[in-house]
Amino acid sequence: QVHLVESGGGLVQPGGSLRLSCATSGIISNINAMGWYRQTPGNQRELVATITRGGSANYEESVKGRFTISGEYAKNTVYLQMNSLKPEDTAVYYCQMRGTFWNLWGQGTQVTVSS
């Protein structure tokens, strides 16, 4: 069974940057879209950014201008470059990849923004 493997989370000071990566553990095909979501305790998972195979990106309002999503569909890999991080960006970040009839989630990586 194919899994999504995330990396790049950690502790960063306000104003700092982090880059999250997510890749598949095996070969899968026909990925239609890739994205990143985040979740804080007691809250629902929320969309951060998505990118389609055609390159169309969509961002949650609070991260526009600070976060950039990119995808390498040939490598089954998606990235999230996070700049100008704020304490309110603290959350567990999950990557997602989906095809027409399937949907995969990563295990989550903690991002903590604190001085």
pLDDT digits (tens, 9 = 90+) for 87-105: 999 999 999 999 999 999 9
Question: Is 90 exceeded by the pLDDT of residue 29?
Answer: no
Question: Is 90 exceeded by the pLDDT of residue 21?
Answer: yes
Q: 54 or 59: which carries more pLDDT confidence?
A: 59
Tokens of 2: 């194919």
Long-range own/partner contacts, residues 37-42 (CB < 8 A, 24 or more apart):
37/93, 37/94, 37/95, 37/96, 38/89, 38/91, 38/92, 38/93, 38/94, 38/111, 39/91, 39/92, 39/94, 39/108, 40/90, 40/91, 40/92
What pLDDT shows up at residue 26?
A: 87
Q: For residue 28, name the pLDDT band (cuts at 50, 70, 90).
A: confident
